[in-house]
Structure 1
Amino acid sequence: MNAQTKQDLLISIPNLSGYDSETRVLMERACVSERGNGPVAYGACLNRQIASLQGAPGIPNLSGYDSETRLLMERACVSERGNGPVAYGACLSRQIASLQGAPGIPNLSGYDNETRLLMERACISERGNGPVAYGACLNRQIASLQGATGIPNLSGYDNETRLLVERACISERGNGPVAYGACLRRQIDSLSTLPGSQ
């Protein structure tokens, strides 16, 4: 390889050392498919990423948010990470904007472990949509508990009966504590119709 060819390669692949590590990683990730097409194609892709950063606000700092809110915003934008720092930053900025005036993620510490777990499970698909969607889902779960009788206590039943009742309602666990509790009560009611039951 002669000196001119080396110089051309240095020109075609831009130096990214002036960018913070996250921005650099996102630019490289956005161009990963171009790496297989050679240094000119890869360099051109990186140069497009650099050009797109001109005038763009960049990746917003999320350090002012609690860890769960930050994680949910990052998850909601995970598909944009592969499109580079501008697309990822824009997605995070939309997540931040959506938080304005939103009630946020409710505190579930006042609920027993099982109820809290069931509410979180019922909203698991919303976690990928960001903190506003997840918080709204949890708030719907909380609202559904108003006036509901909750999850019945099965401690008065033998282990096998309790296990069978719980298994019969396993598909309802993903719908939250109200649906799960209603299913358990239906199972309990059906036990009273068995021969020999009082």
Structure 2
Amino acid sequence: MDNTNFSLCVYCGSKPGIDPAFAQAAAQVGRWIGEHGGQLVYGGGCNGLMGTVAQATLDAGGRVIGIIPKALVEKEWANHNCTELIVVDTMHERKRLMAEHSDAFLAMPGGIGTFEEFFEVWTWRQLGYHDKPVGLLNIAGYYDGLMRFLNNSVEQQFMGDWQMDLMQMDDDAARLLPALIQAAGLAPEDRLDAV
């Protein structure tokens, strides 16, 4: 199968987190990308969920593009097993290239870097800078508190329902992944069954 049917950008933690469900989900996401002829675009790290999703994609026959700032390469955090490792000067350049190389975006559990990347691409979609699908994978209730906060922002009229509608959230990767790729208009439904 062609390995470039779609490019999915995945934002996730450089640590594994305490719940084994996080790493299991990262492996599932990577496996799904590879088995469905996709390409992973991610931050180029070798640790935590980042390393897990990248290795699972490679093991399943997918391509992996890692984009990492030089400062992190020098700390030996770069994943040199990537199909293509792009080293950039700044975080801004990293995020711009990740967005340009991707057809859709998925945020998994992670820390402030993951939050910032997720909110940025969601904001860019709201502003019309892109019209690519944005998804939030809520593994083991990790983002339950965030969703309560966001719904409160809507209730307080700092956000509208239309903004919430620009983002898809699910706790099941097998549902969310095909939904994102289909929303990008890149593959017929029958080629994107759950793994």
TM-score by length of 2: 0.20
Greater relative contact order (CA < 8 Å, ≥ 6 in sequence)? 2
Question: Which structure's CA Rg is the greater one?
Answer: 1
